[in-house]
Amino acid sequence: MKYLGIDYGTKRIGLAVSDPLGTIAFPREILANDGELIKKIIRLIHDEGVTSVVVGKSLTLRGEENLLQRKIDAFINKLKEVLGDRVSFYLQDERMSSHAVHMNFFTKEEKHSRKRFSQKEKDRKTRHIDAEAAAVILQRFLDRNASQF
């Protein structure tokens, strides 16, 4: 059973896929959140043989849905309209996933120093964060549900 993990953002969408057994998540790519998004995701689902989609659920730190979650729900509904019941959809709490990934992109010394990074340096270090965050979301789901599959 192969899974697709999605970290939904208003500008970029991070994607991750699992191995064929559904045990390990791998960052895949980052897509622009534009008019081509649904078509590109559907193509990826077909090309990869994905049977389940795990989308990060956007919550406040208190665990309440936030404004972004409405957009995520609309996004999921668009995918469901096209895919029907061929693919299962799940939501996974995404809180702190991007932060966890961001912390791994900077060395311990860089985090604790007062060094300032240029925008070019920050962009170079963080350009894969959305796909990595999708992998974190997907891996959390896979780990949580490992005994159920």
The separation between the first and the last C-alpha atoms of the chain, rounded to the nearest angstrom, is 9
> Which tokens go with 128?
């894969």
Which pLDDT belongs to residue 94? 82
Q: Is 44 helix (H, G, I), strand (E, B) or coil?
A: helix
Q: Per the structure block, which two tokens stand in for 23?
A: 């045990």
pTM of the model: 0.82
Beta bridge partners of 102: none
- Residue 60, pLDDT score: 79
> pLDDT at position 36, please?
97
In what side-by-side order are the strands of the sheet with 25-32? 25-32, 12-18, 3-7, 52-57, 88-93
Do 36 and 20 form a contact (C-beta atoms < 8 A)?
no
Yes or no: say if 111 and 99 are a contact pair by the CB < 8 Å rule. no
* 144, 49, 1, 143 alpha-carbon torsion, rounded to 10°: -20
List average pLDDT for each run of 10 residues in the chain, which is 149 residues long.
96 96 96 97 97 93 87 97 95 70 54 62 65 93 81
Domains of the chain in start order, with CATH, are 3-148 (3.30.420.140)
Helix (H) or strand (E) holding 27: strand 25-32
